[in-house]
Structure 1
Amino acid sequence: MAAILIKRQRPRVEELLARYASVIGRDFPGYRNHVYRTITYAMHFLGNDPECEALVETAFAYHDIGLWTEHELAYLEPSEAVALADNERYGWGLDAEALRGAIHWHHKISPYHGPHERVIEACRKADWIDASKGALRKGMSKDAIVQVEEAFPNLGFHDTLLRLAKDYGGSTLVGGIKVTLGIVKW
C-alpha cells in the first residue's frame, strides 16, 4: 500500500460536527479526532477515491452521534436516523443505503459482504483499528497507525466511551454488556 495520506483539515467534517458540538460538549475534541482517524484509515483502504470521500466523511461524523443525541448505548440505529434525516434535510444527495450501511455495520466482527461492500468494509476495518487503538490492524501498517495517532491524538476518547457506558448503563459492567449487545454485529 502507498503511504497514508493525512488530511488535517476536512471542511465537510468540521461543518457536520459543528452542528453537534454543543450536544457532544466536553467530549467533542476526542470524538472529532476519532472521526478524523477513522476517515483517514477508511480513505486509505479506498485508495483515497474522491468519489467515496463525502460518504465516508459523513458516515464517520455521524457513526457514534447517538451516544450524545439519544444518550443510548445501542446507538447505531439512532446514529443512522440522525445521519439519514440530515442527508435529506440538507440535500446532500448521498446514497442513503450506503450511508446507513456504513454506520450500521461499522462494528461488524467479520467482513461485510453485500451492497456497497467496498465502502462499508473500509469503514468497518477503519473503526476496528481505532477502537482497538491499533491492536487490530486490518492490514494497516504499524507505522501508518502511529502517524495517524500522532496527527490526531486520542484526547481521552476511549475513556469517554467507558464513562458513557457507566453513565448510561448504571455501571461499567452493565453498560459494557449493553454496548456489546446493542452495537456488535456478527
Structure 2
Amino acid sequence: MAEIEIKLDRPRIDELLAPYRQQIGNDFPGYRNHVYRTVTYAMHFLGNHSRYEPLVETAFVYHDLGLWTDHELAYLEPSEAVALADNEKYGWGLDPDALRGAIHWHHKIRPYKGPHQAVIEACRKADWIDASMGIIRKGLSRAAIKQVEAAFANEGFHKTLLRLAKDYGGSTLVGGIQVTRGIVKW
C-alpha cells in the first residue's frame, strides 16, 4: 500500500464545521482533528482520488454531529438529517444516498456491500481505525497511523466520547450500552 498522504489544510472541512463550532464548544478541537484523521484514512483507501474528496470530507464533518446538535447517543440518524438538510440548503450537489450511507454505515462491524460501496467502505474502515486509536488498522501500518495521529493530535476526543456517554446516558456503562445499541451495525 502506498505511503499515506497527509493534508494539513482542508478548507472544506473547516468551512463546514464553522457553523457548528459554538454547539460543539470545548469539544471542537478534538472533533475537528478526528474528522481530519478519518478523512485522511478514507482518502488513502480511495487512492486519494479527488472525485471522492467533497463527499468524504462532508460525511466526516457530519458523521458524529448529532452528539452535539441533538444530544443523542443514537446519533446516526440525527447526523444524517443535518447533513442531508445542509446538502440541499447549500446546493452542494452531493449524492444524498452516498452521503447518508457514509454516515449511516460508518460503525458497521462487517464490510459494507451495496450501492456506493467504495466510498462507504473507505469511511467505515477509516472510522474504525480512529475510534480504536489504531488498535484496529484495516491494513494500514502502525507507522502510517502514528504519522496521522502526530499531524492531528487527539485533543481529548476519545475522553469526550466517554463523557458524553455518561452525560447523556446517566452513567458511562448505561451510555455505552445505549451508544452501542444505537450506532453499531452488523
Distance 2:19 2:141 in 1: 34
Tell me how far 1:80 sits from its aligned partner: 0.2
Tell me how far 1:43 sits from its aligned partner: 0.1
Tell me how far 1:28 sits from its aligned partner: 0.1
In the TM superposition, what whole-angstrom CA distance separates every residue of 1:70-89 from its partner, at most 9, and x where no partner exists?
Answer: 00000000000000000000
- Aligned counterpart, 1:28: 28
- Aligned counterpart, 1:156: 156
- AA matched with 2:105: W
- Aligned counterpart, 2:79: 79
In the TM superposition, what whole-angstrom CA distance separates every residue of 1:124-171 from its partner, at most 9, and x where no partner exists?
Answer: 000000000000000111110000000001010000000000000000
Distance 2:72 2:169 in 1: 9
In structure 1, the gaps of 5 or more residues are none
Within a 5 Å distance, the mapping from 1:93-172 to structure 2 comes to 93-172=93-172
Distance 1:155 1:23 in 2: 17
In structure 2, the gaps of 5 or more residues are none
Q: What is the DSSP-based 3-state SS (H/G/I as helix, E as strand, rest coil) of the residue aligned with 1:25? A: helix
Q: How many equivalent residue pairs? A: 186
- AA matched with 2:27: D
- Aligned counterpart, 1:2: 2
Distance 2:12 2:19 in 1: 11
Distance 2:140 2:2 in 1: 11
Q: What is the DSSP-based 3-state SS (H/G/I as helix, E as strand, rest coil) of the residue aligned with 2:167? A: helix
Tell me how far 1:19 sits from its aligned partner: 0.9
- AA matched with 1:107: H
Tell me how far 1:2 sits from its aligned partner: 1.0
Within a 5 Å distance, the mapping from 1:60-79 to structure 2 comes to 60-79=60-79
> Stretches of 4+ moved more than 2 A in 1?
none
Identity over the aligned pairs, expressed in percent?
A: 78
Alpha-carbon RMSD? 0.3
Distance 2:52 2:12 in 1: 13
- AA matched with 2:71: H
Tell me how far 1:30 sits from its aligned partner: 0.1
- AA matched with 2:137: R
- AA matched with 1:83: A
Distance 1:27 1:155 in 2: 8
- AA matched with 1:146: K
Distance 1:35 1:52 in 2: 15
Distance 1:171 1:19 in 2: 30
Q: What is the DSSP-based 3-state SS (H/G/I as helix, E as strand, rest coil) of the residue aligned with 2:146? A: helix
**TM-score between the two structures when normalised by the length of structure 2:** 1.00
